[in-house]
A and B are shown apart, each in its own frame.
Chain A
């Protein structure tokens, strides 16, 4: 129990240090661009493919029920609301926790085990600012963008599934999809993924950066990064949804 309290305290301090160091020069622009490419563009195919498949499957599952209820016309609306409000942000967060969280944890743990972090410090370079801050910032910036790709690829997958069943036109599908969608259904849930990004970046960086278990710690840091990030994303989602409902009460109706 005491270990867990200590762990939560250490991670919280680690997160605060990331926030403070974000605004303290020198700014690691080059490292940030490298991480944006590593975390963002390399995750894009996974996110698009997953969104497309999920959109297709979701329409396959919901269509028969909605047709039975005589609500076939609402299929695009249901699809859009589900993806923009919850599925897109949450699934994108969990995918990134798997792909990027494990990567960050393993890379930093390996750098610790092979003394690369000590090597950076020995060159009078702040290893925390050089290695950790760009990774966390990249996660925060990239996740909302990937969520948008996830949302629209899910919508596209849903459309193709619907077109195969009813030959619905693309214009009609899009018109119905966005008919009942408010900006608040899109903006707030998309921006909440910045918090997911912060969780992924901070947890996985903490586990990798602070490991002292040598080579054995590399695998452990990767696994724990995925498990803890995923769990915290789901828990944070509950809180963030409540906050969104508080800020935009019409979304809760």
Chain B
């Protein structure tokens, strides 16, 4: 049954690449303002789920609703409108390596909004301040460390003030302290702006800190979905092991 308050709905979604099925008949909902953490072993369809949501790839079957819009049937103009509601933090940040950090953030603001240069400056200052990169605004992406790149990627994902934030392994390759800082930024984003967040992660400790609900994937199947306590009671051993902090 569909929740009218759901920001994201996956409705019997399947996806295959060639003969390899990466998602099989997956259905779940994420209520607005909540954080869903997607867990699972490598290659089980977690990142594909986020890319389907951003419509970077198309599902073979099923419907995907974002803020009430079925994105599977939208043309480019419709997709563009829906994408503006979302921000995407890619696994390796995916900053444009030919642009400075400042220009990386300014690009969507210049292209997609009518804001003046002063307003753009103010937004970039605020967002870079949030991720503690104010002093690095003129650096090229290649000059940033791994943790800084993640934070820069998060800044770019937040610069258009998205209603839905997608984060693909935001803490991978980071030390515990830096990963914790990223988690804190996600928590602040949800608390201050009511942003719906979907996080793909292998970091169970961080997931339990930021997540309201958890989806566990195994070989393309959604084997468990619910709160941490519910997933801990799952009939699937893989789900119970993945949610366990031990």
**Chain A residues at the B interface, C-beta cutoff of 8 Å:** 26, 111, 114-116, 118-126
Contact = CB atoms under 8 A, between A and B. Distances in A.
Contact of B112 (A114, A119, A123): A123
A116 B54 contact: no
A120 B96 contact: yes
Interface of B: 51, 54, 56, 76, 79-81, 83-84, 86-88, 90-92, 94-97, 107-108, 111-112, 156, 160
B108 A119 contact: no
A116 B91 CA distance: 11
A122 B83 CA distance: 6
B96 A119 contact: yes
Contacts of B96: 111, 116, 119-120
B contact face: mostly helix, strand, loop, or mixed: mixed
Interface centre among B56, B80, B86, B94 (most CB of A within 10 A): B94
24 contacts: A111-B96, A114-B92, A115-B90, A115-B94, A116-B95, A116-B96, A118-B51, A118-B88, A119-B90, A119-B95, A119-B156, A121-B54, A121-B56, A121-B83, A122-B83, A122-B90, A123-B112, A123-B156, A123-B160, A124-B81, A124-B84, A124-B108, A124-B111, A126-B76
Contacts of B88: 118-119, 122
Contacts of B80: 124
Nearest to A212: B17
Nearest to B55: A121
Contacts of A121: 54, 56, 83
A109 to B, nearest CB: 13
Contacts of A116: 94-97
A120 B111 CA distance: 11
A124 B92 contact: no
Interface centre among A111, A114, A118, A123 (most CB of B within 10 A): A123
A236 to B, nearest CB: 30
B94 A125 contact: no
Given A115-B90, A115-B91, A116-B96, A122 B54 contact: yes
A122 B80 CA distance: 8
Contacts of A118: 51, 54, 56, 88, 90, 94
A189 B48 CA distance: 50
B108 A125 contact: yes
A126 B77 CA distance: 10
B133 to A, nearest CB: 17
Nearest to B87: A122
Contacts of A120: 96
Nearest to A130: B111
B86 A122 contact: yes
A117 to B, nearest CB: 9
A125 B88 CA distance: 13
A124 B90 contact: no
B130 to A, nearest CB: 18
Contacts of B54: 118, 121-122
A119 B97 CA distance: 12
A124 B83 contact: yes
A123 B91 contact: no
A96 B48 CA distance: 38
B98 to A, nearest CB: 8
Nearest to A117: B94
B112 A124 contact: yes
B111 A123 contact: yes
A114 B94 contact: yes
Contacts of B97: 114, 116
B167 to A, nearest CB: 12
B196 to A, nearest CB: 16
B66 to A, nearest CB: 13
B56 A122 contact: yes
Given A122-B54, A123-B83, 19 more contacts: A114-B92, A114-B97, A116-B94, A116-B95, A116-B96, A118-B90, A119-B88, A119-B90, A119-B96, A121-B83, A122-B87, A122-B88, A124-B81, A124-B83, A124-B84, A124-B108, A124-B111, A125-B111, A126-B76
A121 B96 CA distance: 12
A110 to B, nearest CB: 8
Contacts of B56: 118, 121-122
B107 A123 contact: yes
Nearest to B159: A123
Contacts of A123: 83, 107-108, 111-112, 156, 160
A119 B51 CA distance: 11
